[in-house]
Amino acid sequence: MSKSKKSAIAAILALILSIQTGVIASAAPASEPLADSSAASSKPTAFGNAVYNKANKLLKDSDVAYAKSYITKHIGSVTKYQATMLILKLENAMNDALPAKTDKVYTIGIQDKLMNLYKYGEPINTTISKAKDETLRKVLINLRDSGYRLYTTEGVIFPIIDYKTLEPYKPYINKDVQAYIDIMVVESEKPAVSDAALVISWSEVIDRGLSLEAFLTAYPKSNRAADMKLKLRFTELSLFYGYNNTPLFKYEDNLLDPEVRQAFDKALKNSDAVSKSALLKKLKAWSDVLESNKDKLTQEVEQYRAKAVPVVD
User: What is the structure's pLDDT at 33?
Assistant: 39
User: What is the structure's pLDDT at 263?
Assistant: 98
Nearby residues of 23 by Cβ (< 8 Å), 6 or more positions away: 95, 98, 99
CB 91, CB 161: distance < 8 Å: yes
Distances in Å between the Cα of 70 and the Cα atoms of 9, 53, 167, 192 are 43, 12, 16, 33
64: nearest Cα among 147, 146, 161, 149: 146
pTM: 0.86
51: amino acid identity, one letter: V
**What are the average pLDDT values for consecutive 10-residue runs of the chain, which has 313 residues?**
48 46 42 39 85 97 96 97 98 97 94 95 96 96 98 93 98 98 96 92 98 98 97 97 95 97 98 97 98 98 97 79
Q: Positive or negative CA dihedral for 269, 250, 188, 177?
A: negative
Our measurement of the distance from residue 84's CA atom to the centroid of its chain's CA atoms, rounded to an integer in Å, reads: 19
Distance from C-alpha of 38 to C-alpha of 106, rounded to nearest angstrom: 45
Q: Which long-range contacts (CB under 8 A, 24 or more apart) does 59-65 make?
A: 59/86, 59/89, 59/90, 59/92, 59/93, 63/97, 63/142, 63/146, 64/90, 64/93, 64/94, 64/97, 64/146, 64/147, 65/142, 65/145, 65/146
User: What is the structure's pLDDT at 313?
Assistant: 64
Distance from C-alpha of 73 to C-alpha of 216, rounded to nearest angstrom: 31
Strands (E), the chain: 148-153, 156-161, 193-194, 197-198
User: What is the structure's pLDDT at 274?
Assistant: 97
199: amino acid identity, one letter: V
